[in-house]
Amino acid sequence: MILIDGKKVGNEIKAELAEKILPLKEAGKKVPGLVTILVGEDPASQVYVNMKSKACIKIGMLSKIEKLPAETTEEELLALVVSYNRNPDFHGILVQLPLPKHISEDKVIETISPEKDVDGFHPISTGNMVIGKDTYLPCTPFGVVELLKRYNIETKGKHVVVVGRSNIVGKPVANMMLQKKVGANAIVTVVHSAAKDISYFTKQADILIAAMGVPEFIKADMVKDGVVVIDVGTNRVDDPSTDKGYRLTGDVDFENVSKKASYITPVPGGVGPMTITMLLYNTYEAFLKIEKN
């Protein structure tokens, strides 16, 4: 069994980006810029936003965090997004989700200019992804595909089973894996809670992508020998034996499934670090396209 190290791959990609940005900075030229907009005081969102900003700065990108109070109106938030659509110093706009209930997430996402949609959530980005056109891919599924590529795991003609159908991971990763492209070109099955027996499908997987948000749902008797397992789940489980009182676990019973797998991602340290990495990658690509135009 080979452990797929997302932290290592993420650091490699960030180093590649830093190498491209450094000459721009040294020459006093414009560098890629990302603005992250945070509405409210959600502790997890604050952590994510700070991590994204630090990652940007570390590789030489321009980073800005706009912190707004929870009572910010939808109109005020949309006006701020529009102002950054027009701001030439910022090539990526990310509005941290979830938003307060009085603000429509769909409306906010649709207001972000598609050319600055580095999260890959705009309907135009989603449509381009589905039909296989060049676009910004959503960061977590993009990270999954990149891990498979960087570990030289064959996907062409393989049976990929995706467990989960969220708009953030399940649906996009299924679409990405069936594209006629390098690192994809797979036969894809999406299985979810409506299935009478999920294990009937998971046992057929050459590559299993677990993204349902249920701690350790995938057991060893649900997979075949030699399976490649990509665990996207990050679940907080009570554990009084730890200092924090909890531990992080994936959607896969790692201890037992790893004994049957040929490759597997750990949680934490697998897919997680790739999400911010691919956000930086998308921001750099947006910079290239916008400055070229």
Domains of the chain as residue ranges with CATH: 28-113 (3.40.50.10860), 139-272 (3.40.50.720)
Q: How many CB atoms lie within 10 A of CB 82?
A: 13
Q: Which amino acid is located at 62 in the chain?
A: L
Query: Can 42 be counted among the known catalytic residues?
Result: no
Cis bond before residue 268 (omega within 30° of 0): yes
SS3 112: coil
Q: Exactly one of 5, 14, 96, 206 is catalytic; name it.
A: 96
- Read off the pTM: 0.95
Q: Exactly one of 14, 52, 116, 158 is catalytic; name it.
A: 52
Query: Can 197 be counted among the known catalytic residues?
Result: no
Query: Can 119 be counted among the known catalytic residues?
Result: yes
Confidence of residue 23 (pLDDT cuts 50, 70, 90): very high
**pLDDT tens figures, 211-264:** 999 999 999 999 999 999 999 999 988 888 888 888 889 999 999 999 999 999
Average pLDDT over residues 56-64: 97
Q: What is the pLDDT of residue 239?
A: 87
Q: Which amino acid is located at 230 in the chain?
A: I
Q: How many CB atoms lie within 10 A of CB 291?
A: 13
Q: Exactly one of 119, 206, 251, 253 is catalytic; name it.
A: 119
Helical packing angle, 272-292 and 43-58, nearest 10°: 60
Give the span between the Cα atoms of 179 and 140, in whole angstroms. 17
**pLDDT tens figures, 69-99:** 999 999 999 999 999 999 999 999 999 999 9
